[in-house]
């Protein structure tokens, strides 16, 4: 009963936020402001530095389907030669979370008017389009060959883990078909209800791809869709599907190897909420530190074909015994991701974590403006409905932490200090007072259309810095594009 009440409250919060966002706090505005943006960067104030990626020449990226679903791939499960596990499988994040350090925060500047709802590129102001194109050129110059967007929990095809039960309950001839149809309908309905509130939809991804298209090149952008189930089994299934998508992008980009003169290709992966747990699991798969038995158990329960997993890992990382540089580097960006699973340290993987803080936090940084992130602690999962899924989920708890719902732990998270990942860079952003419900309890601001350019610039500066700051193309004269930290002295603009 309590579990159902919590679910109803979460859904109601997001639904109320969507309604308020459209009617009051975020009125519909097809255009964007022409005024330039003064954004800020924590790099001047001691934030952890991220090594600059090698700059490569721009080459035409190969196309890929814009929507990929992490639903069952095949009914046959083959025992793939996945490397056996090393000493510790997947380590759970410690019960006592890492305290949020006292670091400068970045003030969100609405480049587009708050409430921009237009998903058509031509309806945005020329200044906005030029600024997004400049970001795309920076991506291309840094050899980014693809961008993958990943939604979080309760925004996918089977948020309540119900359709697997439906599939097994129906005759084999119609069960899979009915489950697929229900999943597609569910994703479409949630997309219409949520819009851009805590959700990367296909239309959002299409707009991003069109907007960042640099001159003479195309960077394909993918909307990766997974079940969004709130437990270990669903997330591990999503991670396996994400590895397949990354390998597909790497294979397509590899066709331009001659033009790239052997440079390392980069894939940018942007995720909201518990997509961060998928990213952590992907790093564990890269490190080959997840037990083969666990992978095969999930594959059997979800009817996945993991025979190609080792080949996918080789495509992305090279063979385990090779001593050359990896073929592909992956840059993960999380928005409001709870600190749950541990990340493996992989030389070819970088991470940037964006966390919302209250307005006026400045250098304090200890407050938390994202209540969903705060509450999504170990013990906030919804157990799967299927018997086999529950068995596997319980087995994974030894390495991934408690896999069920523990009301006491969730309640204590209201007063406990939220944890942060110990890997990568962290950017604290003050999104301003958008209203508790209109912002989806502080968790929906990351995916708003009016924040697309702000976040694109933040990612470009933190992960793909240029020798000189990217010019602010919103003014007739170059102003120097930087994201300086609140409280730091602004740098003079170049003449």
Rg for the chain (alpha carbons), in Å? 22
- 3-class DSSP state for residue 97? coil
Task: Answer whether residue 144 shows pLDDT above 90.
Answer: yes
The whole-number pLDDT of residue 368 equals 63
The whole-number pLDDT of residue 476 equals 33
Cα gap 109→128, rounded to integer Å = 13
Task: Answer whether residue 261 shows pLDDT above 50.
Answer: yes
* pLDDT tens string 25-60: 333 333 333 333 333 333 333 333 333 333 233 333
Cα gap 43→328, rounded to integer Å = 26
The whole-number pLDDT of residue 262 equals 67
Residue range 325-339: mean pLDDT, rounded: 90
* pLDDT tens string 358-367: 876 544 444 5
Between 14 and 120, residue with greater pLDDT = 120
Q: Are 446 and 356 in contact (CB under 8 A)?
A: yes
Task: Answer whether residue 189 shows pLDDT above 80.
Answer: yes
Identify the DSSP state of 24. I
Residue range 262-289: mean pLDDT, rounded: 92
Mean pLDDT lowest among 100-104, 168-172, 375-379: 100-104
Q: Distances in Å between the alpha carbon of 396 and those of 78, 92, 217, 393, 472?
A: 21, 10, 43, 5, 48
Provide the 10 A C-beta neighbour count for residue 223.
Answer: 24
Residue range 325-333: mean pLDDT, rounded: 88
- What is the value of pTM for the model shown? 0.76
Q: Are 273 and 371 in contact (CB under 8 A)?
A: no
Mean per-residue pLDDT over the chain, rounded = 74
Residue range 68-72: mean pLDDT, rounded: 43
Mean pLDDT lowest among 207-221, 228-242, 257-271: 257-271
Residue range 98-127: mean pLDDT, rounded: 73
The whole-number pLDDT of residue 107 equals 86
- 3-class DSSP state for residue 50? coil
Cα gap 414→437, rounded to integer Å = 17
The whole-number pLDDT of residue 421 equals 75
The whole-number pLDDT of residue 12 equals 47
Cα gap 351→269, rounded to integer Å = 9
Looking at the chain, the whole-number percentage of residues with pLDDT higher than 70 is 66
Pinpoint the alpha helices (H) of 254-370.
257-260, 275-286, 292-302, 309-317
The whole-number pLDDT of residue 327 equals 75
The secondary structure of 156-224, three-state, reads CCCCCCCHHHHHHHCCCCCHHHHHHHHHHHHHHHHHHHHCCCCCCCHHHHHHHHHHCCCCCCCCCEEEE
Cα gap 107→359, rounded to integer Å = 8
* pLDDT tens string 314-328: 889 887 766 566 778
């Amino acid at each position: 009963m309590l579990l159902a009440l919590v679910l109803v409250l979460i859904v109601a919060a997001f639904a109320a936020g969507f309604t308020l966002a459209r009617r009051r706090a975020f009125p519909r505005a097809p255009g964007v402001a022409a005024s330039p943006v003064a954004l800020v960067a924590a790099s001047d104030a001691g934030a952890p530095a991220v090594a600059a990626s090698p700059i490569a020449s721009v080459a035409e990226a190969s196309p890929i389907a814009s929507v990929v679903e992490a639903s069952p791939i095949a009914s046959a499960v083959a025992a793939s030669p996945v490397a056996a596990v090393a000493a510790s499988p997947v380590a759970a994040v410690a019960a006592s979370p890492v305290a949020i350090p006292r670091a400068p925060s970045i003030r969100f500047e609405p480049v587009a008017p708050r409430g921009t709802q237009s998903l058509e590129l031509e309806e945005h102001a020329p200044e906005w389009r030029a600024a997004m194109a400049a970001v795309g050129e920076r991506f291309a110059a840094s050899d980014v060959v693809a961008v993958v967007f990943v939604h979080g929990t309760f925004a996918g095809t089977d948020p309540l883990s119900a359709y697997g039960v439906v599939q097994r309950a129906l005759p084999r001839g119609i069960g899979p078909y009915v489950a697929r149809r229900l999943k597609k309908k569910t994703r479409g309905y949630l997309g219409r209800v949520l819009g851009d509130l805590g959700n990367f939809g296909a239309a959002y991804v299409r707009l991003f791809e069109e907007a960042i298209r640099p001159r003479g090149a195309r960077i394909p952008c993918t909307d990766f869709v997974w079940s969004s189930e709130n437990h270990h089994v669903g997330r591990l299934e999503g991670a396996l599907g994400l590895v397949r998508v990354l390998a597909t992008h790497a294979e397509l980009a590899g066709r331009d190897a001659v033009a790239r003169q052997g440079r390392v290709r980069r894939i940018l992966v942007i995720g909201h909420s518990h997509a961060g747990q998928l990213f952590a699991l992907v790093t564990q798969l890269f490190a080959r530190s997840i037990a083969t038995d666990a992978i095969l158990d999930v594959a059997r329960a979800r009817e996945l074909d993991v025979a190609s997993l080792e080949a996918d890992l080789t495509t992305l990382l090279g063979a385990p015994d090779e001593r050359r540089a990896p073929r592909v580097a992956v840059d993960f960006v999380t928005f409001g991701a709870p600190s749950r699973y541990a990340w493996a340290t992989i030389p070819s993987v970088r991470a940037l974590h964006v966390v919302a803080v209250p307005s006026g936090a400045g250098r304090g940084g200890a407050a938390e403006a994202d209540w969903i992130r705060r509450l999504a602690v170990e013990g906030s999962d919804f157990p799967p409905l299927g018997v086999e899924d529950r068995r596997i989920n319980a087995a994974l708890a030894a390495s991934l932490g408690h896999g069920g719902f523990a009301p006491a732990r969730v309640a204590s998270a209201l007063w406990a200090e939220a944890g942060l990942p110990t890997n990568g860079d962290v950017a604290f952003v003050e999104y301003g007072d958008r209203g508790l419900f209109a912002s989806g309890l502080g968790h929906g601001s990351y995916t708003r259309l009016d924040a697309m350019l702000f976040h694109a610039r933040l990612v470009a500066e933190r992960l793909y810095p240029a020798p000189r700051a990217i010019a602010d193309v919103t003014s007739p004269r170059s102003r120097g594009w930087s994201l300086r930290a609140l409280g730091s002295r602004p740098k003079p603009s170049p003449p």
